[in-house]
């Protein structure tokens, strides 16, 4: 076991106590009467993590957990309410609009819906290569066409030159998502935010896209911030993973450690809830009660306590910090009974996670 988790030189992206609050629109009556307190959605509430160069870092959670907002904060698409976002030793918060725009070249994004990401009136080549022109990275149309066609071939749109003049509506959904991946790649980025990049694809296409992303990541030494709600997909692609709940990271660690030895009860429940494509497995009970509460008035203490099967009084009042799991460097969890001062009260794991391999 090695040292602490201080910032190493390999860190490409670091978020430090990042918060993002969105104001809630007051209703008409409140606006006219000028009454009612301004409320905020605590979308991201004090998130810290680091991504190592060349690794795939997963952000996993249910809808409303703040994973997408965190991703957008990480690549400077949103400005944090509080906290620091540091990309390669550059503090994004201090940058002017123009400086940030220049940085964006190195931080590319792949979203879920390729049709929403590609301009239907631009040919694929022009749309995918648009960034090259914006950032003046090519000198001639010939060079432009060459660069874009080359990337098309990398993502499996072959022959690349033939795809250059086609339009988004003329190709299949899987091919469109390849084009979106190409658009990110063509900028030669250092970091790619992939926000549910394969969620819309069909099962057989999903596998192909996922595999393509793994291949490209290795070939170009890319770093991914990979956002997904699908824990099986995360297991396939991620090196490290952070589990989010109501705007907070409640567990983070290497994918294997977290999946085989989850510490937070929410992580346990999440892992146990994933349907296994094998009828001989039966999901273990119990599931936690209820659903994720809204983020305007998050529960006191531990935000998971109203749903937690092992919650005790302490959980209602005291907010658990994200602390290292004893004896497991790099594995952190925010649960009173699994890390920190109340560890002696641990009632033991909720669910036996010892899921064996399918033979």
Partner 1 sequence: MSLFQVVPDHSQVNKQEIILSIRDLSVEYQTRRGVLSAIDTLSLDLYKGEVLGLVGESGSGKSTLGKAIMRMIPSPGRITKGQLIFKNQDLMAYDENQMRDVRGKQISMIFQDPMTSLNPVQRIDNHIIEAIRVHEPNISKDEALSRSESLMERLGIGRRRLKEYPHQLSGGMRQRVMIGLALALKANIIIADEATTSLDVIVEAQFLDLLRELKDEFGLTILLVTHNIGIVAELADRVAVMYAGRLAEVANVDELFHNPKHPYTQGLLRSVPNIAMDSQDLYRMDGTPPNLVMPPSGCRFHPRCPHVMDICHQKQPWLVRVDEIGEGDEQVGGYDKHLASCWLHQEYQGATQARRY
Residue ranges in contact with partner 1 by CB under 8 A: 62-63, 172, 174, 202-208, 210-211, 229-233, 235-236, 259, 269-285, 287-288, 291-292, 352, 354-359
How far is Cα 193 from Cα 95, in angstroms, rounded to an integer? 20
- How far are the Cα atoms of 107, 153, 160, 353 from residue 13, in angstroms, in the given order? 10, 29, 32, 31
In whole angstroms, give the CA distance from residue 320 to residue 337: 9
Measured CA to CA, the distance from residue 112 to residue 91 in angstroms comes to 28
Each residue of 227-248: b (16+ CB within 10 Å) or e?
Answer: bbbebebbbbbbbbbbbbbbbb
Residue with tokens 């301009």: 119
298: how many CB neighbours lie within 10 A of its CB? Answer: 16
Nearest to 181 by CA among 76, 132, 109: 109
Residue with tokens 């994933």: 274
Nearer to partner 1, 116 or 285 (CB): 285
**Cα 108 to Cα 186: distance, rounded to the nearest angstrom:** 10
| Cα three-residue angle 244-246-250, rounded to 5 degrees | 40
Q: Give the nearest distance from C-beta 72 to partner 1 in angstroms.
A: 20
What is the token pair recorded at 308?
Answer: 């937690």
């Amino acid at each position: 076991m090695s040292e602490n988790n201080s910032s190493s030189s390999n860190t490409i992206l670091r978020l430090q106590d990042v918060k993002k609050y969105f104001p809630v629109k007051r209703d008409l009556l409140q606006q006219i009467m000028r009454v009612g307190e301004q409320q905020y959605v605590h979308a991201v509430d004090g998130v810290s993590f680091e991504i190592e160069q060349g690794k795939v870092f997963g952000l996993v959670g249910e809808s409303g957990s703040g994973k997408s907002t965190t991703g957008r904060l990480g690549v400077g698409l949103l400005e944090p309410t509080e906290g620091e976002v540091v990309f390669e030793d550059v503090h994004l918060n201090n940058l002017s609009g123009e400086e940030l725009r220049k940085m964006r070249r190195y931080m590319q994004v792949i979203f879920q819906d390729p049709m929403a990401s590609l301009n239907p009136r631009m040919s694929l080549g022009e749309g995918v290569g648009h960034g090259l022109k914006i950032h003046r990275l090519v000198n001639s149309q010939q060079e432009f066409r060459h660069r874009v066609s080359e990337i098309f071939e990398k993502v499996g749109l072959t022959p690349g030159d033939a795809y250059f003049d086609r339009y988004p509506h003329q190709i299949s959904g899987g091919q469109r998502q390849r084009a979106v991946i190409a658009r990110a790649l063509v900028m030669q980025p250092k970091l790619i935010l992939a926000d549910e990049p394969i969620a819309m694809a069909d099962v057989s296409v999903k596998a192909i896209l996922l595999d393509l992303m793994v291949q490209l990541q290795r070939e170009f030494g890319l770093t991914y911030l990979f956002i997904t709600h699908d824990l099986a997909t995360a297991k396939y692609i991620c090196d490290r993973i952070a589990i989010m709940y109501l705007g907070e990271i409640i567990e983070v660690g290497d994918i294997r450690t977290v999946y085989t030895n989850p510490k937070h009860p929410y992580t346990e429940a999440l892992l146990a809830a994933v349907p296994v494509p094998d009828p001989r497995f039966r999901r273990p009970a119990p599931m936690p009660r209820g659903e994720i509460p809204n983020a305007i008035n998050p529960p006191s203490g531990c935000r998971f306590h109203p749903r937690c099967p092992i919650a005790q009084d302490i959980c209602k009042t005291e907010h658990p910090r994200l602390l290292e799991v004893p004896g497991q460097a790099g594995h952190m969890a925010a649960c009173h009974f699994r890390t920190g001062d109340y560890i002696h009260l641990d009632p033991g794991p909720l669910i036996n996670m010892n899921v064996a391999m399918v033979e």
